[in-house]
Each structure stands twice: as structure tokens, then as C-alpha cells.
Structure 1
């Protein structure tokens, strides 16, 4: 679910088994992506996974680093994530979103060889696109609450609002 010139292209790690079965991103019950997106102010109401196409109207899109569905993201190997990083870079260069937001710092570190990366804006740019790393909204990520995740997502949203040209 992508288009050229998006404000933000969100990139999940890979589809859950539920997402693969339904064809909807972040479809697993307990995944906090949709509530967090709303709490951060990206959407005027909380969308359901089946409403993912509505994101395009808000200048948002979703893709994944790796296409292979798994029960848990930690089932992916480093080579898969690195290949996914190459493919994502190609996609971002073609689509030219203003921000590329990768949800999952560990996956980002592996995919792009940035061992010390932290949540937030990265020095890396892909083409002219600024890269931002966000907390993984999986229910398995107990270090973050929906509220604290929404604060990080809102930081990203503010940069798009403050700098609409890029």
C-alpha cells in the first residue's frame, strides 16, 4: 500500500501470520500500530487493519522490510533483513516519501548495518528521504506502552508538519 510522494512511508519488519492471511498490515490482535497512529495524530480516528487503504488519503503508506510471514519477527535471519533493506532503499528512491519510518530498531540495525542506531531520526538518507526509526508496535514489545509509542510517532509527525517541503 504505497504511492509516490507520501508524507510518511511506514515500514514494518514483516507480515504476521494474521496479516498474511487477511492481506492487511498490522492485523494481529494486540498489535498497537493502528491505535498509536491515531494517538500520534496521523489519523482523525483509529482505523482498523481492513481500512488500511484510507491511509493514502492522509499521505501515508505501509510496506515491509521482508515479505515472508512469520509468527515472530525474530524468526527472520540477518541475510533476509539485509536483502530487505536493499529492496526498501530501492522502493524509497522510486517513491520518494518525505520520511521513511521503520518500526523496529533491532530490524533497522540489522538491515542497514547501523549497530548503534536508536529510536528517532537517523543520519542516513535514502535518496532525499529522511529515515526515522520508531518503536515496534507489536504486543510482544513490552518496553513501550501505546502512549509512549504515540509520543515517538508524534515526534515524527511534527517534523513532517513543520517541514512540508522535505
Structure 2
């Protein structure tokens, strides 16, 4: 049986616009060295996302997701959920990116959004399963770059 495309007609015009904007801005499989502009940014990102299998930052208007070698399809789904929340913060609360190091600090947008994702992802995943959605993970072909933690000091 062929896979059917999701029925986008069920989405509001605003939701369709947000999805198109996120699609244009999402870079899944970015390189940390291309995103971080200084050592402080690298250290803050690694510290903030130390328990996650992805790192997320905004760089030049793109949502850049760096995957660790251990990242699974569920981690990719969680990263995209995180991107959606960052987009919501920008669009609805006016909270925009500054520098990676500032955004990682307490009260910064990455720190604040990661706390939200850690709290809510399992609930969203569960609710999606109840509604009949497949939440086993994101099926995507990210760029080949993965972060190997054995090289991080």
C-alpha cells in the first residue's frame, strides 16, 4: 500500500505558513564548526545539550541541528519538536536569537526552550500515539556530519 501524503488541508493558513518557514530554515545535520563562531559558543552549546543526542542553535537565520553519533530517529524527532518551539517563541513571543552563548545561559532562548522540550516532548509523543500518529522517530536523511563525543574535551 503506498504511503499517503498528510492532509495539509486540515491545517490553518498560519500553520501551513509556519511549516513552510521552518522547512526553509531547518538544517538537519549541521557541523558545529560552521555554527559556533567562537570557543565560548562551542562550550556553552556542549554544556547545555550534554544530556541530549543533538545540539541546536540558530545561525544566519537557519535552525541548525547537529546530531551526535548516538542520535536515533526519536532524537531527530525531538530536535524538530524543539525547532518548532523556537519558531513559536520567535513568532508569538518575539524572542529571537542572539549569540549561541547568550542563548544557552539561564533565561536564554535555547536554555528556556530546552527546559520546555524536556518537560513536554514525552507528553506530545504520547498524545500523538493516542491520536494514531507514528512517533517512532523522524525519518529523514540528515547531512552526514555527526558529533563524536570522544573528541570533545
Report the TM-score when normalising by structure 2: 0.30
Report the TM-score when normalising by structure 1: 0.28
The structure with the largest helix share of the pair is: 2
The structure with the largest strand share of the pair is: 1
